[in-house]
Structure 1
């Protein structure tokens, strides 16, 4: 058994990848302990040390952290669009060994043993392994590949 498909890494794919993967990521929630620490250090610097520059700097870092959380989706997609791989064709292959994806700039291969969990989302599949997550869109997959993923997910 060897199945393969090809799709393009474009902006809609990146948006879909981000939206579907975020709930399963560690980045889904703001870093509340960091925000609390920065605000506490800012207040400490303002009132205890009477160092307004340091206090203002800590408050600005807290604001930057809030902005980075709020704008993480467009920032992540922009970084992907600026990468060399943007706009390139990706070939994804399934065989008895596992999943392999290649484009002219990067490739990865996950054996079925390395994949800890296959999560079906509304618009795709997330392959969770020890070294991270990979997202595959249902729009890019053919029916045979979807069947293989569904079968492997229930095992």
Structure 2
């Protein structure tokens, strides 16, 4: 006999939540490779400025683009969090339901269900779970994938164990 399990939780989309989501799900690292494009733009602008007879305004524009790219990489997290805080969903209450069908997220602004059949991987982080799932296929047959983050702070121990059991990558 199988037992039907359903877990309900709620949380608020506030700055702390968004910051945790970014910290736990971001793959951006601050290394030389991340700043490569910014460095190339800056060096290219300096070469245009110092070694060619091109209008200096064009060179300064390319240098400014390189510096702007550097700043955008360096401040990626605060910029992402601010954009989320400016969204209409910010500060709203979200009801999370986890059951045998999947994960249902409901709020005033969105109702979204991720079916367990669409989940390709569940990764446990220090503070929550990353749920990777398929959104279907493109016209060319390529998979469209996405990920979602669920914080453990709003989940009970039973709900945490239930999500851990639903990981399709575990045999």
Q: TM-score scaled by structure 2?
A: 0.80
Deviations 1:75-111 (A, max 9, x none): 1111111111111111111122111111111232111
Secondary structure in 2 matching 1:122:
coil
2:155 corresponds to: 141
Q: Larger radius of gyration, structure 1 or 2? A: 2
2:58 corresponds to: 54
Q: Gapped runs of 5+ residues in structure 1?
A: none
Instruction: Measure the CA separation in 1 of the matches of 2:16 and 2:35.
Output: 30
- Residue 65 of structure 1: CA displacement? 0.7
1:91 corresponds to: 95
1:79 corresponds to: 83
For the aligned residue pairs, the C-alpha RMSD in angstroms reads 1.8
Secondary structure in 1 matching 2:117:
coil
Question: Number of paired residues?
Answer: 152
1:110 corresponds to: 114
Q: Gapped runs of 5+ residues in structure 2?
A: 135-144
Structure with more relative contact order (C-alpha pairs < 8 Å, separation 6 or more): 1
Secondary structure in 2 matching 1:139:
helix
1:14 corresponds to: 18
Match of 1:41 among 44, 58, 72: 44
Would you tell me which structure has more helix in proportion to its own residues? 1
- Residue 51 of structure 1: CA displacement? 2.5
CA contact 2:13–2:92 (8 Å) conserved in 1: yes
Q: Does the C-alpha gap of structure 1 residues 80 and 128 become closer, same or farther in structure 2, counting only changes over 3 Å?
A: same
CA contact 2:6–2:100 (8 Å) conserved in 1: yes
1:150 corresponds to: 164
